[in-house]
Chains A and B, each alone.
Chain A
């Protein structure tokens, strides 16, 4: 092979790469947390007796599932930064890359989490709701105390897997010039002319993190699987 590898720029750049990894992890955590909460609301709205709410929730989920993530990020980065800043109460002129990325990811992932949670709620036996009503619980109480706990226990592997996918997708904040781990690696590689080494390093790091995480999920699944 004619290319001579030179890995010397990586050790010096590790602090900068770590800052980028923190950005990736922050976006992943925020989007996952908001995504699960808002996704649960969407899933419950889809099952409500009010037709308009069902239509709204289904429309939201279908919209965000049919549009690429890149487009959602660009919407919030290029088109909506000022209205978003006003909505979030930020000073005009703040760097909107991180807030727009977090909002975009959270809204996008909620649609995917909503589908997972809807499937999870459906997987709980119908008799549970009937039994809860027979015991005198209202709809809200039954959901909170009986259905949702069981649904979430079934869904944890899928929610975690979606979280791993979300972590991989945070690399797409590259389109809004935000330096997450991949963006940082690209910048270092570009600066030092060692793009090949940095890209391979970034790929290896992502692989190790995601592979270990998915193995942990698999082990959790084996331990908690109830036939």
Chain B
């Protein structure tokens, strides 16, 4: 292979004059992490709500939650992203839409990407939360109600604390997925890690080094998240876990 390896290219000042190429990669990494964490917070909050809705005795709430999950699971992530970025500003009332479209483009991209990732992942989190609640022995709910707790109180004090503890492993894989799915947001121009990888290929003419570095960055994110969630799991694991005996 007559390719000239040059790992030192990362320490060279960039052609645009804004730091080194390594700085570009770190900027992309920073954006990826911020985007994924914002999406994850949204996903946890919304997903838990929708997951609980699916387990309630009320049929209309259950149907709404089921429809929510089906919509976000059956449309590809890229289509959803383009819908949030291109379609939503057009459908807002004219004054708000105009103001939004004239704001900082990076903010528009970030908001669209974070909302898209958050809602897409919330459907999957909802399924996991529902599975966790359904995995608990049925007597838990009945016991809570028999003790005089209202249904919301039963969820808050009896069901949800246990359910969240037993779904930590599937939530870990959803958390990892959100970091990987953030790479899709490079298609709307957001300069996160995958987009910075393409920029590096274009500007440094060292494609192998650029892509190997970006791939390793994703693997490092993977390892950090897995170790973090393993620590969380060790702290909150139930001794008598009904799922992972």
Contacts and interface: CB of A to CB of B under 8 A. Distances in A.
B219 A182 contact: no
A220 interface: no
Contacts of B183: 68-71
Contact of B75 (A69, A75, A196, A207): A207
B141 interface: no
Contacts of A158: none
Contacts of A69: 180, 183
Contacts of B80: 203
A13 interface: no
Nearest to B201: A78
Contacts of A78: 198, 201, 207, 211
B136 interface: no
Interface string B61-97: 0000000001101111111101100110011011001
B243 to A, nearest CB: 15
A1 B220 CA distance: 46
Contacts of B90: 3, 196
Contact of A79 (B76, B94, B207, B218): B207
Contacts of A66: 176, 180, 218-219, 222
Given A3-B91, A74-B197, A182-B76, A68 B208 contact: no
Contacts of B180: 66-69
Contact of B87 (A75, A168, A200, A207): A200
B131 interface: no
Contacts of A174: 78, 187
A137 interface: no
Interface residues of B, number: 39
A186 B187 CA distance: 12
B176 to A, nearest CB: 8
A203 to B, nearest CB: 5
Closest 4 CB pairs of A and B: A68-B183, A210-B74, A168-B76, A68-B180
Given A71-B218, A79-B207, A168 B77 contact: yes
A122 interface: no
13 contacts: A66-B180, A71-B211, A78-B207, A168-B74, A169-B76, A182-B78, A195-B87, A196-B87, A203-B80, A206-B75, A206-B76, A207-B75, A210-B73
A15 B234 CA distance: 55
B123 to A, nearest CB: 13
Contact of B93 (A2, A70, A168, A211): A2
A60 B82 CA distance: 32
Contact of A2 (B74, B97, B186, B208): B97
B191 interface: no
A171 interface: yes
Interface residues of A, number: 33
B97 A70 contact: no
Nearest to A208: B74
Given A67-B215, A79-B208, A214 B74 contact: yes
Interface in B159-210: 176, 180-184, 186-187, 194, 197-198, 201, 207-208
A188 to B, nearest CB: 13
B162 to A, nearest CB: 25
A195 B215 CA distance: 33
Contacts of A169: 76
A171 B76 contact: yes
Contacts of B76: 168-169, 171-172, 182, 206
A199 interface: yes
A196 B87 CA distance: 5
A67 B87 CA distance: 29
Contacts of A195: 86-87
B70 A199 contact: no
B219 A67 contact: yes
A207 B74 contact: yes
A199 B79 contact: yes
A39 B82 CA distance: 32
B194 A71 contact: yes
